[in-house]
Amino acid sequence: MRVGALVVAVLAASFGVSGSAPASVEARDLVRPHAFADFPLYDAGDQVDGLPLTAVLRRDGTAEFVSFVYGDCAARDDEGCAPPVEVQVWPACRRNLDLYASGRPGTPVPERTTARGVPAAFLDDGTRLELQTGRSTVVVFADSRARVLRVVSALRPVGERALSGPLPPPAPGAVQGTLPC
Amino acid sequence: MVGFKQASVGRVLLAAGAVAALAAIGARPAAAHFDSTSKYTYSSCPGTQQNRVDPINVVFTVWGTWGRAVSQTGTHAGWTNTSGTTEYFVDHGSCYPMHAQVASGTFSRFHIRVRGQHPDDVLGWTATGDAHHEDFVVFPVLCGHAVDSNGPSGSGFDQGRDELEDRFASAGHRTYRVWWGNTQSFKQCDGDYAGSDGWTAFIELHQLNH
């Protein structure tokens, strides 16, 4: 039997049932700034756009990020499902907008923009936005461009009150992919 | 007169056919390109964020027709079992059912669904796939196939891509990776989450290899 590999995972909702229960306070404490210093974390609060925070995931290995999952979905045999909203926070040294500048055929072409005053790009027909702030890259997945933007407007440092203004600018070299890990 | 008219009509038709053929030849390169806009498979059409199922993490190129992709996956990786659910792919904004699927077994297994995509001036014939490793989960809930959750050696999606990439590379095929960033997490039927690490393997199926 396989072992769940999520270092931090909170599945507050029952299997296969749309959940409304928020992630536990204990799990969120594990990624609060005093306990997590690898890179600055941002989330969209305990709920966003009517969706509760249902899981906090930590991935460290071939990919490195902390993920905040909002809302739930019903997976089936042989068919996973995409939660309505997900906010992934990566260290900018592992994920940055420069990765799309490889020039290799088949590389996605991002739609460059600015969000919350920092460099950003839409991908996947607007259902994904990546923005760079400080030493972090924040990736928002949602079902529409409008919802992505509503989530972006709710981004704030984990454990802090909502911010309405611009996010901190990216650290030198963060966008260019030259920031050391 | 009748003969003349028939001959004239014939010449006109021939000329029109030639113009149409030239136009088609001239137009094809401009329209033919690999479309990486959609980076997921879907449970139904139309393909939307709500019905995404798996990240696409393998692209077969250079004579990468879907038939050759499936055939050579069987040859090099031994994935020949054809069981599994139908999923859908989006190409140039339109949604289509997959062309084929092959797996390494029936229960816990490697598995890929494949669909041929538009040919490309640089990449040649192309096909895309969602390689993954999935367990057959019976506990704590009997739910069937679930892609392995994220772990230090990657998720089941990463493991499936790596396995296929290694098998083809060992057989002499050129492979390389392109950053797609399609790292969205997918909840599995056992409640765990799995996602791609964002790197897509491009595997060339050049005729020189076979």
| One-character DSSP codes across B56-92 | --EEEESS--HHHHHHHHHHHH---B--S---EEEET
- B25 and B66 fall within a common domain: no
Task: Give chain B's residues under pLDDT 50.
Answer: 1-30
- B13 and B82 fall within a common domain: no
Q: Would residue A16 count as lying in a domain?
A: no
Q: Would residue A168 count as lying in a domain?
A: no
Q: Would residue B134 count as lying in a domain?
A: yes
Residue of chain A whose alpha carbon sits nearest to that of B111: A78
* Tally of structural domains, chain B: 2
- B91 and B182 fall within a common domain: yes
Residue of chain A whose alpha carbon sits nearest to that of B35: A106
- B70 and B19 fall within a common domain: no
- State whether B185 and A67 contact (CB < 8 Å): yes
Q: Would residue A48 count as lying in a domain?
A: yes
* Tally of structural domains, chain A: 1
Cis check for the bond before A33: say yes or no (omega within 30 of 0).
Answer: no
Among A181, A60, A86, A61, CA closest to A139: A86
Per-residue confidence (pLDDT) for residue B209, from 0 to 100:
74
- State how far residue B186 is from chain A, nearest Cα, in angstroms: 5
Q: Would residue B210 count as lying in a domain?
A: no
- State whether A79 and B139 contact (CB < 8 Å): no
- B21 and B42 fall within a common domain: no
Q: Would residue A178 count as lying in a domain?
A: no
- State whether A77 and B181 contact (CB < 8 Å): no
CATH of the domain at A148: 3.40.1000
Among A28, A16, A136, A47, CA closest to A88: A136
Q: Would residue B166 count as lying in a domain?
A: yes
- B174 and B130 fall within a common domain: yes
Q: Name residue A129's beta-bridge partners.
A: A122, A140
Domain range for B65: 34-204
Tens digit of pLDDT for each residue in B116-128? 998 999 999 999 9
Name the burial class of residue A29, with classes exposed (0-12), middle (13-18) and buried (19+) by CB atoms within 10 angstroms of its CB: middle
- State whether A72 and B187 contact (CB < 8 Å): yes
What is the count of residue pairs from A and B with beta carbons less than 8 Å apart? Answer: 164
Half-sphere exposure of B122 (CA within 13 A, CB side): 9
- B195 and B130 fall within a common domain: yes
Q: Would residue A19 count as lying in a domain?
A: no
What the block records as the tokens of B142 is 């009997």
Check: CB of residue A168 under 8 Å from CB of residue A131: no
What the block records as the tokens of A114 is 């600015």
- B88 and B172 fall within a common domain: yes
In sequence order, which residues have a C-beta less than 8 Å from that of residue A103 and are 6 or more positions away?
Answer: none
Put simply, the chain A residues between 20 and 79 with a CB less than 8 A from any chain B CB are 55, 57, 59-63, 65, 67, 69, 72-73, 75-79
- B121 and B20 fall within a common domain: no
End-to-end Cα separation, chain A, in angstroms:
35
Q: Would residue A171 count as lying in a domain?
A: no
Cβ of residue A143 closer than 8 Å to a chain B Cβ: yes
Q: Would residue A174 count as lying in a domain?
A: no
Per-residue confidence (pLDDT) for residue B35, from 0 to 100:
86
Q: Would residue B80 count as lying in a domain?
A: yes
**Which chain A residues are within 8 Å of B191, Cβ to Cβ?**
11, 15
Q: Would residue B135 count as lying in a domain?
A: yes
Per-residue pLDDT of chain A (181 residues; tens, 9 = 90+): 332 333 333 333 322 222 334 444 445 555 555 567 789 999 999 999 999 999 999 998 889 999 999 999 999 999 999 999 999 999 999 999 999 999 999 999 999 999 999 999 999 999 999 999 999 999 999 999 999 999 999 999 998 888 889 999 999 999 999 999 8
Q: Would residue B20 count as lying in a domain?
A: yes
Per-residue confidence (pLDDT) for residue B98, from 0 to 100:
98
Residue of chain B whose alpha carbon sits nearest to that of A73: B187
- B103 and B26 fall within a common domain: no
Domain range for A50: 25-157
- B9 and B43 fall within a common domain: no
Q: Would residue A12 count as lying in a domain?
A: no
pTM of the entire predicted model: 0.85
Give CA–CA dist B210/B205, Å, rounded. 8
What the block records as the tokens of B88 is 């859908």
Give CA–CA dist B186/B134, Å, rounded. 13
Give CA–CA dist B60/B202, Å, rounded. 6
Q: Which of A83, A86, A106 is opposite residue B178, by nearest beta carbon?
A: A106
- B17 and B82 fall within a common domain: no
